[in-house]
Structure 1
């Protein structure tokens, strides 16, 4: 019985690890685009803060771009959270497999 639990847990851990890695790789592009957008927005904000006359001439800050960058960042964080959850679940199944294997070895040693 413990062998079956061990093998099922190992298979589940492997599947979840692969899914987490694939999800992380797929969401990496979104994260890269978000980081680039945030860096661009920060550069624009820095350049407008350096020169007060430029800020007065523009008389407006691109709030829409900042909100879009923030929304993209929130989307990327959400995707990374899903990947992290899958990887943590994979580790939980590995822990279950280790406990089951240890319990099986202890039971075999005692009997």
Structure 2
């Protein structure tokens, strides 16, 4: 049986949001941010989750084990602004039970 996960998202204004995200809807982190309206419309996930724009870049704060970065994600992050060692694209982080306790901060809008 699928379960919801508790995650923390710090928006671009520095406000922390404790979110209960579903794991049974095949959502990724970018879609969670958009569905909870944690970034102004049109500023986050502008490519729709295709790893083609880096507008959903976030910084992973927790020690949550994430899937390895794929080539597309590496390529987009290599061209993005404000990239840090812990940068990931939200569209590449699927909401699964393993994401329980995930904490991220949204990168500044570029």
Task: Sort the TM-score into its range (normalised by shorter chain).
Answer: under 0.3
Specify which structure has the bigger relative contact order, considering alpha-carbon pairs within 8 angstroms and separated by 6 or more residues: 1
Between structures 1 and 2, the one with greater strand share: 2
Bigger radius of gyration among the two: 1
TM-score by length of 2: 0.21
TM-score by length of 1: 0.20
Between structures 1 and 2, the one with greater helix share: 1
